[in-house]
């Protein structure tokens, strides 16, 4: 991609480096409902971490806390050691957390390409004045954004749809565009909320390949919420299980598979 003075994603790493994301004792309530109850786990750099749990377990709520759309009652969330407590929702993308939504949240009136360009907003510098006057610097940035957005569309395999209205795409394509839009910010950490929801068998398989290449080729750490257990187990280095807002298991997929508490709370009851 093009050369910009902005931080690039860090490649996959192992070893004793501090985790990229630390979720410490996060509690979130809605009136009487405790949606998250002292949730604690961390996500290492360059890993794919699955987050599973029955409907209503609090997975989306946790994502919304990470996005600063919700303010948790307790606890702290740290990215690269820095607390997010003080951040506004609109600071999060710039700090390196990108996300997709459970039901695709594209900008319906915009073209596919423009949707992805909005993804690059956090990395941009152009302001209303430089835009209004179209200074050479603003032209340069627009060219770079255009190239980067097209490159992202090529990465997800939708370059032919660049000028189509986003609303005209199939669900699977909309989900991919949303992914490209999140990637255009070049996040350190990508939050995916049920990316396989509503997809057919082949589409799920293709999605698995795509998520793996997001980590392997782009070096982006992934936190994956998904009901499709096969997909989660095959992709994840680590799986965290939530039930009624509580972490009931956290470990490598083989161990989660054999965990009796998980089987009872989730796997056993669903299949």
Partner 1 sequence: MEKSVIGATFDAPAVDRYPAPNAGTQRWIAALGLIALAVVLPFVVSKYHVFELTMVMIYAIAVLGLNILAGYNGQISLGHGGFFAAGAYTAAILMHRYGVPYWATLPPAALICFALGVLFGLPALRFEGPYLALVTLALALATPQLLKYFDNWTGGQQGINLTKPLPPHWLVIDRDRWLYLIVLAALLLAMRIAANLLHGRTGRALVAIRDHPIAAAALGIDTARYKTLAFGTSTLFMGVAGALAAIVIGYVSPEGYNLFLSLSFLVGSAVGGIATIGGAIIGGLFIEFVPNLANDISDAAPWAIYGLAMLLFMYTMPQGVVGSLGPWITRSMRQIRAQRAAFAGGDEEHDGKGRTS
* 185 vs 117: CA distance, rounded Å: 9
By CB under 5 A, residue 60 contacts Mg ion: yes
Window 55-84: contact mask with ligand ADP (x via CB under 6 A): xxxxxxx-----------------------
Q: In this chain, which of 30, 81, 127, 132 binds ligand ADP, going by CB under 6 A?
A: 30
* 155 vs 137: CA distance, rounded Å: 27
The bridge status of strand 246-251 relative to strand 238-243 is antiparallel
Dig out the tokens for 221 from the structure.
Answer: 């750490």
By CB under 8 A, residue 137 contacts partner 1: no
Q: In this chain, which of 1, 17, 33, 73 binds ligand ADP, going by CB under 6 A?
A: 33
Would you say 103 or 217 has its CB closer to Mg ion? 103
Dig out the tokens for 209 from the structure.
Answer: 């390949």
Cβ at position 186, least distance to ligand ADP in Å: 26
Backbone angles phi, psi at 27, to 5 degrees: -125, 135
Q: Which of 78, 39, 99, 100 is nearest to 242 (CA)?
A: 39
* Beta bridge partners of residue 7, listed in sequence order: none
Cβ at position 99, least distance to ligand ADP in Å: 13
By CB under 8 A, residue 222 contacts partner 1: no
Q: In this chain, which of 6, 8, 17, 105 binds partner 1, going by CB under 8 A?
A: 105
Sheet with strand 21-30: strands edge to edge: 33-43, 21-30, 74-79, 82-83
Backbone angles phi, psi at 32, to 5 degrees: -85, -20
By CB under 8 A, residue 142 contacts partner 1: yes
Instruction: Select from ligand ADP, Mg ion, partner 1, none the partner in contact with residue 50, using the beta carbon and a kind-dependent cut-off of 5 to 8 Å.
Output: none
Assess contact for 147 and 2: CB atoms under 8 A. yes
Q: Which residues in this chain contact ligand ADP in the complex, by CB under 6 A? A: 30, 33, 35, 53, 55-61
Q: Which residues in this chain contact partner 1 in the complex, by CB under 8 A? A: 60, 64, 67, 69, 88-94, 98-99, 101-103, 105-111, 114, 117-119, 121-122, 124, 126-128, 131-134, 138, 141-142, 145, 160-165, 181-182, 185
């Amino acid at each position: 991609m093009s050369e910009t003075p902005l931080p690039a994603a860090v490649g996959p790493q192992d070893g004793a480096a501090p985790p990229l994301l630390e979720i410490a004792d996060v509690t979130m309530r809605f009136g009487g409902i405790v949606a998250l109850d002292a949730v604690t786990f961390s996500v290492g750099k360059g890993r794919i971490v699955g987050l599973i749990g029955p409907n209503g377990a609090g997975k989306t709520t946790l994502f919304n806390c990470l996005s600063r759309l919700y303010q948790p009652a307790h606890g702290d969330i740290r990215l690269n050691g820095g607390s997010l407590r003080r951040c506004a929702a609109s600071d999060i993308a710039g700090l390196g957390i990108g996300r997709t939504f459970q039901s695709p949240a594209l900008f319906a009136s915009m073209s596919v390409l423009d949707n992805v360009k909005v993804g690059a907003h956090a990395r941009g510098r152009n302001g209303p004045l430089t835009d209004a006057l179209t200074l050479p610097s603003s032209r340069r940035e627009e060219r770079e954004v255009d190239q980067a957005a097209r490159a992202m569309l090529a990465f997800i395999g939708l370059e032919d749809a660049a000028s189509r209205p986003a609303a005209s795409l199939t669900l699977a394509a909309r989900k991919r565009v949303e992914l490209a839009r999140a990637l255009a910010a070049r996040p350190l950490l990508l939050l995916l909320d049920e990316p396989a929801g509503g997809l057919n068998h082949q589409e799920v398989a293709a999605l698995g390949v795509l998520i793996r290449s997001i980590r392997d080729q782009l070096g982006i750490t992934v936190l994956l919420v998904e009901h499709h257990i096969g997909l989660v187990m095959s992709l994840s280095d680590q799986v965290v299980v939530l039930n009624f807002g509580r972490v009931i298991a956290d470990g490598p997929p083989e161990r989660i598979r054999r965990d009796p508490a998980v089987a009872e709370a989730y796997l056993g009851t669903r299949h």
